[in-house]
Amino acid sequence: MIRRVLISDNIDINAFMEGVEEGNSKLEVDVRSDISAEELKAIIKGYDGIIFRSRTKLDQELLNNSNLLCAVRAGNGLDNVHLETANKKGIQIFNCPELSKENVADYSIAMLVNLTRNLIKAHLSMLDGKWERDLLTGCSFKNKTLGILGLGRIGTEVAIRARAHGMKVIAQDTEKTEEYATKHGVTLVSLPELLRQSDFLTLHLPLNKETHRLLNREKISLLKKGVYIINSSREQLFDFTALAEAIESGHVAGYATDVFEEEPPHSEHELIKLAKRGYNILLTPHLGAQVMEVQQTIARDSGKKVVHFFDNLEQKDKSR
């Protein structure tokens, strides 16, 4: 039986097909990396599987109107999938959580360096023919406290890198044990203590009902004055109005983010407007895992996952 698979986002097709070749199932692969949400809804019934990234939303309506047997997220987060509906319909959901953790951690530290040492401001100043050495004085990492909200795969990698920079590392994660944290040189604290103690705060939580708008106005008020925040997770973790006010007031000294609720963000996005007004904000277009070698590995792994799923399905059918 030939299985039809749709690729709805931009991935390395050659690497994907290399992964597919490791299995036995015959796949008919259609590449529609620029497909719109409406177009996807119109054609999804014709596919057994889909390969997608963060742009594609597998919402309740789309899944209910599909005949999908599996969906492979060529990346980590699954907040763009209505998992309850997928489970009810028996659609197998896969992702690739291990493959990008080091690179996202590297990127988080890189954003922190840029934010605290004014590298981009300095570069732009030089291009304007200025020499603003004294105005662009930064701050040191050594003996400062880095707070990690979410000590999972990426958060742990960030902790390793932060300790190499001489930082004290604390974290809040209800699913990690003291033993695990200690093994990685991290002290577990409550969320209020994390917010009060952190000179730098980096976010690595999945987006779900519990974490949506977790950092509301009350929580933001607990932040140490002058904190720098790195968000490599999801914009929706914040009460965005309260965050913008904290940046404008100077309570938050700097904010760097690689993620937006809508991607790409609208030109009138509040952070874009604040950045244009000169606030210490660093914005990048979801580049954390956008590394050539990583994207090739993720695409190859996605190919393996989808073909092995159909291989196993055929074996089950034969054994009945």
Are 267 and 293 spatial neighbours (Cβ–Cβ below 8 Å)?
A: no
Q: Which residues contact 90 (CB under 8 A, 6 or more apart)?
A: 69
Specify the amino acid at residue 283. Answer: L
Q: In which residue are the tokens 């987006």 written?
A: 207
Round to whole Å and give the CA distance between 253 and 61. 42
Nearest-5° Cα angle at 297, 260 to 54: 20
Torsion of CA 44, 53, 81, 240, to 10 degrees: -130
Backbone angles phi, psi at 78, to 5 degrees: -120, 20
The yes-or-no answer on residue 263 being catalytic is yes
The yes-or-no answer on residue 269 being catalytic is no
Catalytic residue among 263, 268, 269, 308: 263
Q: Which residues contact 23 (CB under 8 A, 6 or more apart)?
A: 304, 307, 308, 310, 311
Number of Cβ atoms within 10 Å of the Cβ of 175 = 8
Catalytic residue among 32, 196, 286, 308: 286
Q: Which residues contact 101 (CB under 8 A, 6 or more apart)?
A: 153, 154, 156, 157
Catalytic residue among 3, 53, 234, 300: 234
The yes-or-no answer on residue 286 being catalytic is yes
Q: Which two tokens stand for residue 200?
A: 């730098």
Residues catalogued as catalytic? 234, 263, 286
